[in-house]
Structure 1
Amino acid sequence: MKKDYIKDIRKKVGHAPIILTFAGGILANKRNEILLQKRSDFNSGGLPGGALEFGETAEEACKREYLEETGLKVAVKSLPGVSTNYIQHYPNGDIAQTVVIEFIVESIEKINVNLSSETLNLKYFSKDNLPKIFNEQHKKFIKNYYSGNFPYYD
């Protein structure tokens, strides 16, 4: 598996529009509150997850990103959806059509690791008390999760 795939691509294309694939997960506690990450790039909430590295499966990426961003080792339970209809503009000027594969995950164990600098805070939120979410794809996954509308795709 090649590390820093996006950095390698961006060295070649700069901020030009590209297509990127991401994987993440929805983790709910016993009160059906979902874990959200306050992201350092957008200074707002989102579901933990990140870009696939070259040669990595979506499931592997979800598990790796969860560990890096939350310190939690997770298992994938199901696939509630895929979103492909979104153009993300990043604060650094990068532009990408983001393909997001979202899983429902369960926590296996907490691992004491230094969290990624991408994580400012982690907190569980109820559907009626959500913070500002950084993009429409994550908003739709959260809405569809709480309404039971899955599998979901766009």
Structure 2
Amino acid sequence: MAYIKKIRDLVGHRPLILTSASGALVTKQGAVLLQERADTGDWGFPGGYMEFGETFAQTAVREFKEDAGIVVQPVKLLGMFDSDTYTYPNGDLVQPVNAFYLVNRVDDHQYATKLSETVTTRYFSLHAPAPRFFNRQHAEMWAALKEYLAKH
């Protein structure tokens, strides 16, 4: 987040295109782990913005640990999502370009999450209605995940 803070210090709330990565951790029963966001109270896939020098996969691993307290490994790129814009509660306008991965859990250890970003995490059944997502992009990723799992 230090990289984005430096950019925001220079440009204020002007629109930015930012790269991000997120992951879907799915149980054998067909439930996916989601994060309740501290900034909006809505739900989303654990993930976030890249730091300078990171790859999309490295970003997904770092952000998943920060947001969900779980170390994961990306196993499949499910898609790139770039058609949404979003205005954060503080007025920052972004067009996120998000790499969305299917991920596997690496171990059973549970790490602390960033309290400034995550209220809680919870598994949601992919066979039930989706929760209220914090932006359209996460709803699109939910649909893409369901479609991928239906085929595989």
What TM-score results when the alignment is normalised by the length of structure 1? 0.91
Partner of 1:145: 145
Contact 1:71–1:110, Cα closer than 8 Å, also in 2: no
CA distance in 1 between counterparts of 2:52 and 2:77 reads 21
Task: Give the secondary-structure state (helix, strand or coil) at the position aligned to 2:105.
Answer: strand
Q: Deviations over 1:31-84 (max 9, x none)?
A: 110000000111110000000000110000000011111111101110010011
Contact 1:25–1:47, Cα closer than 8 Å, also in 2: yes
Partner of 2:81: 83
Q: Deviations over 1:75-130 (max 9, x none)?
A: 11100100111111100000011101100001111434321120101000012142
Partner of 1:125: 124
CA distance in 1 between counterparts of 2:58 and 2:109 reads 17
Task: Give the secondary-structure state (helix, strand or coil) at the position aligned to 1:72.
Answer: coil
Partner of 1:71: 69
**How far did 1:147 drift?**
1.9
CA distance in 1 between counterparts of 2:3 and 2:137 reads 22
Count of residue pairs the alignment pairs up? 148
4+ residue segments displaced more than 6 Å: none
Percent of aligned positions that are identical: 38
Task: Give the secondary-structure state (helix, strand or coil) at the position aligned to 1:78.
Answer: strand
Q: CA RMSD in A?
A: 1.5
Partner of 1:58: 56
Which consecutive residues of structure 1, in runs of 5 or more, have no partner in the other structure?
none
Q: Which amino acid aligns with 2:125?
A: S
CA distance in 2 between counterparts of 1:105 and 1:112 reads 16
Contact 1:33–1:124, Cα closer than 8 Å, also in 2: yes
CA distance in 1 between counterparts of 2:146 and 2:110 reads 30
What TM-score results when the alignment is normalised by the length of structure 2? 0.92
Contact 1:67–1:111, Cα closer than 8 Å, also in 2: no
Contact 1:74–1:107, Cα closer than 8 Å, also in 2: yes
Partner of 2:95: 97
